Amino acid sequence: MAVTNRSDIEVIDYLLRAESDVKEVVKITDQYPDLSIDEAYDLQKKLIERRMEKTKTKRLGIKLGLTSKAKQEMMGVHEAIYGYLLSDMLALEWEPLQQHRLIHPKAEPEIAFIMGEDLMGEEVTADDVMKAAKYVVAAIEVIDSRYKDFRFTLPDVVADNCSSAKLILGSKMVKPEELDLASIGMVMSKNGEIVATGAGSAVLGHPAEAVAWAVQKLAKRGEGLKKGDIVLSGALSEAIAFDMDDTIIAQFDGLGSVTLSSRYVK
Ligand code: OOG
Ligand code: MG
Q: Please enumerate in sequence order all residues whose Cβ is within 8 A of that of 218, keeping only pairs 6 or more positions apart, or say none.
A: 62, 82, 120, 224, 225
Model pLDDT for residues 3-17, shown as the tens digit of each residue:
666 689 999 999 999
Parallel, antiparallel or unpaired: strands 193-199 and 230-235: unpaired
Cα distances from 143 to residues 35, 115, 134, 150, 151, in angstroms, run 23, 22, 25, 10, 13
* pLDDT at 1 exceeding the cut of 50: no
Q: Residue 229 CA to chain centroid, in angstroms?
A: 13
Domain ranges of the chain: 5-263
Number of neighbouring beta carbons within 10 Å of residue 223: 15
Measured between alpha carbons, how far is 159 from 157 in angstroms, rounded to an integer?
5
Measured between alpha carbons, how far is 192 from 201 in angstroms, rounded to an integer?
25
Ligand 1 neighbourhood includes 234 CB (under 6 angstroms) = yes
Q: How confident is the model at residue 228 (pLDDT cuts 50, 70, 90)?
A: very high
Sign of CA dihedral 21, 27, 33, 39: positive
Residues measured by CB to lie within 5 Å of ligand 2, the ion? 108, 141, 235
pLDDT at 76: 81
User: Which of 143, 148, 152, 153 gets mutated to test ligand 1 (max ligand atoms within 8 A of its CB)?
Assistant: 143
Return the CATH class of domain 5-263: alpha beta
What average pLDDT does this structure show over 214-227? 98
Ligand 1 neighbourhood includes 66 CB (under 6 angstroms) = yes
CA–centroid distance, 251 to ligand 2, in Å, is 16
Ligand 1 neighbourhood includes 202 CB (under 6 angstroms) = no
Model pLDDT for residues 31-84, shown as the tens digit of each residue:
999 999 999 999 999 999 999 999 999 999 999 999 988 788 877 888 899 999
Ligand 1 neighbourhood includes 162 CB (under 6 angstroms) = yes
Measured between alpha carbons, how far is 104 from 144 in angstroms, rounded to an integer?
6
CA–centroid distance, 83 to ligand 1, in Å, is 10
